[in-house]
Amino acid sequence: TAGTVEDYLKDSAARLQAVRRSYFNLKDEAMRTELDILSDRFKKISAIVKEDPKDFKKARRYLNTMLSSLETIVSQSVKLFKVPEKSEEVNESLEKAKEGLVLLRQSADNQIDKLHENNLLELDVELEVLKKTLVSRGLLDESNINDNKD
């Protein structure tokens, strides 16, 4: 329902804001940039879901995973940045964390694409149903349909 969607997105936005509070504790510009991009992607996914609540189920599964991973990556990275004498292991972990943020961004882009593709598919199906209905009612000549196909 719309209330559930709104409530979920509000709670998710609060989770993202909590992560963003650690922004300046991420002592790596590339990580901060990825966090900015992920915040933007979250807003895009939220807008798509608000516009078409049928996308909520798919988006919710993705956002649960994304936010959980983001919370872990950022909180652990902040702890590692606080280590005064960073060992090779700590530096490697920070690099992996940065890679994790890149993977989250790529997955967010893919999720946005999938949500858009879903809408395109729904439109294609609706147009096919419309054409068949019009033909069956004698309101459209079937030969006209074939002439307009790509």
Strands (E), 20-134: none
Q: What's the full length of the chain, in residues?
A: 150
Rounded distance between C-alpha atoms, residue 93 and residue 95, angstroms: 5
- Check residues 128 and 56 and name the one with the higher pLDDT: 56
Condensed to tens digits (0 to 9), the pLDDT of residues 38-77 reads 999 999 999 999 998 888 988 999 999 999 999 999 999 9
Q: Mean pLDDT score of the chain, rounded to an integer?
A: 90
Percentage of residues in the chain with pLDDT exceeding 70? 94
CB 63 within 8 A of CB 14: no
Rounded distance between C-alpha atoms, residue 75 and residue 19, angstroms: 8
Given a cut of 90, is residue 133 above it in pLDDT? no
Mean pLDDT of 127-144: 83
Q: Is 121 exposed, middle or buried (0-12, 13-18, 19+ CB in 10 A)?
A: exposed
- Check residues 126 and 80 and name the one with the higher pLDDT: 80
Q: Is the dihedral of CA 137, 141, 146, 147 positive or negative?
A: negative
Global pTM?
A: 0.81
Given a cut of 90, is residue 128 above it in pLDDT? no
Instruction: Return the closest-CA partner of residue 49 out of 100, 6, 93.
Output: 6
pLDDT of residue 150: 47
Given a cut of 60, is residue 4 above it in pLDDT? yes
Q: Is 45 exposed, middle or buried (0-12, 13-18, 19+ CB in 10 A)?
A: buried
Condensed to tens digits (0 to 9), the pLDDT of residues 78-108 reads 999 999 999 999 999 999 999 999 999 999 9
